[in-house]
A = this chain, B = another copy of it.
């Protein structure tokens, strides 16, 4: 399937009107950014960039697409002929996948003619909004888990294809594995899973069910112990598997209380290394509450794949700069009351002091970066800067992804995912939040747009 119909009709009617008015070839800069983070979120986690590259490569109109578009009666033959030849030929720069983002971080910049770049709006936003929504809450869950492994198992709670990419986004931000086979197949993410209540209920007794599972999967499997009576189930499980039993899974009830008594019971039966896995409507707050409970891992579903109460991070695709009738580039922006946009293609850096993130620096152009450094040093001198302040670095956040329509790197999707997973971990370390602060708080670092403001952050 091509990706070209994952698009809103108005992109094609705008293309038609712009071509008829002779302005479709004006050079344009579109930016993708979110105006704010959800209340309480300290940072966002960008995911989906690798999938955007794939979608742009597949963005062409085949015969069946064109037949359908003709049938709508909205496009003329000239526009349809143009679409038949369509390929994206512009440039895309963006934050590396897995990178953190903050309010107004320009996570993608698409440059090309209006006609070439306007068509990508919907598919880019769908991917970045969905994947980043999952990644942003997933990262919080991994932090709350404090190194205990997390399994993504929410596929059944979301659209069947979204499930695959939710698993992908979760892995990018540090989940260890997924229950979703398609995600395993496409992205080489480790898959995990054991058995459902249905399996226990299929047998005349729980003992028979456990025996069958152990015979098939070996003693290192996780047995589900809450179908009937938890204590009896655990006794049966250890009796059958011996102390080598891999894990027991709890999926209902008061997990904290149950985990405590389960641990005591397992220990008393000699199963001291048998792990306890908790599942059942967990989110980052529940995981946080279980920090002191003897839980060895989490299976997380609904709250992860639906973005933890914030399913759509609000990324928009805005025209910020375009060629005018004078042939020059001009910053542009909507001026009506709410939703005003800033204009001008922006450059972004993370300001680090001694390797620790202090601000998200978003500047309109290269010249402003030099100007910023000058201002910053002047300010630092004035304020009598400490040695630390001298160690200020600017880490560039935008990398070239597509130039002249061609991808800059030719990594496979599994390689892109591994790269993103490393990037996320490094950026999180740079941010230096502690799990002990809890999941919520003010935005971790400010977005600043000039040197004076940046120097103020350092003081």
Contact = CB atoms under 8 A, between A and B. Distances in A.
Contacts of A408: none
Contact of A10 (B125, B194, B251, B337): B194
A108 to B, nearest CB: 13
A126 B193 contact: no
A380 interface: no
A329 interface: no
Interface size range on A against B: 35 or more
Nearest to A157: B312
Given A156-B121, A311-B158, A311-B311, A18 B202 contact: yes
B193 A13 contact: yes
Contacts of A251: 339
Contact of A16 (B121, B123, B216): B216
A312 B318 contact: no
A17 interface: yes
Contact of A336 (B8, B230, B325): B230
B319 A155 contact: no
A322 B201 contact: yes
A433 B204 CA distance: 46
B333 A201 contact: yes
B126 A179 contact: no
A202 B339 contact: no
B199 A157 contact: no
B336 A253 contact: yes
A10 B191 CA distance: 10
A242 to B, nearest CB: 18
A336 B202 contact: no
B158 A162 contact: yes
A93 interface: no
A220 to B, nearest CB: 12
Q: Most chain-B Cβ atoms within 10 A of its Cβ — which of A13, A72, A163, A336? A: A336
A65 to B, nearest CB: 7
Nearest to A162: B159
A267 to B, nearest CB: 22
A165 B161 CA distance: 11
A55 to B, nearest CB: 7
A115 to B, nearest CB: 10
B212 A17 contact: yes
A180 B126 CA distance: 12
Nearest to A165: B159
A296 B196 CA distance: 50
A129 B163 CA distance: 12
A199 B156 contact: no
Nearest to A194: B10
A130 interface: yes
A324 B205 CA distance: 10
A285 interface: no
Interface stretch (A20-28, A37-45, A360-368, A393-401): A20-28
B196 A14 contact: yes
Nearest to A2: B182
Nearest to A322: B202
Nearest to A123: B160
A66 B159 CA distance: 23
A391 interface: no
30 contacts: A7-B181, A8-B155, A8-B180, A9-B181, A9-B184, A9-B192, A10-B179, A10-B193, A13-B216, A21-B203, A21-B216, A23-B203, A28-B202, A30-B198, A68-B184, A72-B184, A114-B198, A114-B202, A118-B196, A121-B156, A157-B311, A161-B162, A198-B319, A204-B324, A226-B336, A229-B335, A229-B336, A252-B339, A253-B338, A306-B311
Interface of A: 3, 5-14, 16-18, 20-21, 23, 26, 28, 30, 55, 64-65, 68-69, 72, 74, 114, 118, 121-123, 125-127, 129-130, 153, 155-165, 179-182, 184-185, 191-199, 201-204, 208, 211-213, 215-217, 226-230, 251-253, 302, 306-307, 311-312, 317-319, 322, 324-325, 332-339
